[in-house]
Amino acid sequence: MTRRTTTFLRKRECKTTSKPRSRQESYSLPDTRSAALHINENWKRAKEAPAGPIDVIDMFSGCGGMSTGFISVNGERSSFRLAGAIDIDAVANRTYELNLGVKPFQADIGELARKPKLLADTIRKVLPDTSRPLVLIGCAPCQGFSSHRNDAGAMDPRNSLFVDFARIAAKLRPAAIVVENVPELLTDKYWPFVVRAREVLERAGYFVHVGVHNMAEFSVPQERFRALLLAMPKKFKPSRGFLDRAKFKTVRDAIGRLPPVKAGERHSKDAMHFTAGHKESTIETIRAVPPDGGSRPDHVGPECLRRAKERNGRAVYEDVYGRLFWDRPAITITAYARNPASGRYVHPEQHRGLSIREAALLQSFPDDYEFLGSLDESFRQIGNAVPPAFAAYLAAHVLRELSSDEKLADFDPGITAPVGPSFSRLIASLKAGHRKDFVTRDA
């Protein structure tokens, strides 16, 4: 399959090259770092670029974060064609179609995995031409694995979607499989799902690598740790972050150029640049928070927060109503980032929470991306998305690995045992650089 993919790509290159090139120039590939660093510019160039020779199907496509990253690579070299997408979320599907020009099939992935005929019929509609190489990408809903939903535990039906995706991939036999999810997936409680998915793929002939990455190492202006599963039918090199902490993109890099808006107002030139309309008591609390990374003083804010401190004898919920730092990456942007009471989601200077545009830029979406639905629905789509800059890196990395003729003697499977009872407890040591046993970065 890999040899066929490489041959297909090179034949395509010959057909699309108008003048002869030297042997060294005949097959240029997108640079992985450039793909991530220049996601915005590449995205705009990709709109005018022809589709590439490799088909992409996006399952659990959401609002299109992963697809946006893959298609943006076409801005450097026409590599991918978005063959189709599948998601159960009607609002996210509308956003996806608006920005990517492909209407997703609204379907339940779990149902497709359980019904082979329905799966076959759906794939025939999505992918009528099976002669081209295929990359299957996806991000199963992560709420079931969240550290904040331990009451649901392993019985949450959304958790099985991770294995369902692996079963579908084994049937489709793509040239590469890319799966992103929350790192809590790798903890003791949920590790059996990883083991099962890996077994399904390995039995189908795939080499599988599982790792954890900090999105900030891939030029996303946000500290966001994510689990990644990559699989190919040959040995391949794993993806690795390429920025160290001193070079992380910051909040200022992402949103510093945006014009000011007041809480609840919509900017006249950008419909996505508007925020929640806060209560006056919320704005009063925000005004008391020092600019540029300041935290809520103990004596201000809702009474429940002050009572919580009295009960515990120390400050609790310290990030609630906190401001973002201008010159650091943002904290993880979640579906609740619209609400200053949900964490450190207050603008560094202005007395309000984040706008839709600001949250999207902190997730590395292109600056012209639009989101349909209500304010809450827009933030949910953004918070649940794969950061496009990370996806662009993965797209270029997968392309290079598929095109490589290098015969690797060894294969790195990545994480092969659970990371412990909780991933969130490891984050502080990871940020400090004390744990390098399962988070890798290029030198």
Give the C-alpha separation, 201 to 208, whole Å. 7
In whole angstroms, what separates CA 100 from the centre of its chain?
A: 16
The domain segmentation of the chain, as residue ranges, is: 2-248+386-431, 259-354
| Top-confidence residue, 237 or 122 | 237
pLDDT for 154: 47
The confidence band for 110, taking pLDDT boundaries of 50, 70 and 90, is confident
The model's pLDDT over 255-275, given as tens digits with 9 standing for 90+, comes to: 999 999 999 999 999 999 999
Q: Say what the pLDDT of residue 128 is.
A: 77
Quick one: which of 46, 40, 98, 111 has its CA closest to 74? 46
Look at residue 5 in the predicted model and tell me its pLDDT. 61
Percent helix, strand, coil in the chain (nearest 5)?
40, 10, 45
Among 46-55, 304-313, 314-323, 330-339, the least confident range: 304-313
Positions annotated as catalytic residues are: 142
Domain covering 2-248+386-431 assigned CATH 3.30.1330.60 in the classification: no
Q: What six digits make up the tokens of 18? A: 């108008």
Look over the chain and give the mean of its residue pLDDT values, rounded to a whole number: 87
The per-residue pLDDT for 302 is 73
Contact 55, 71 (CB under 8 A): no
Residue 134 confidence (pLDDT) = 96
Q: Is the pTM of this model over 0.75?
A: yes
Q: What is the reported pLDDT for 157?
A: 45
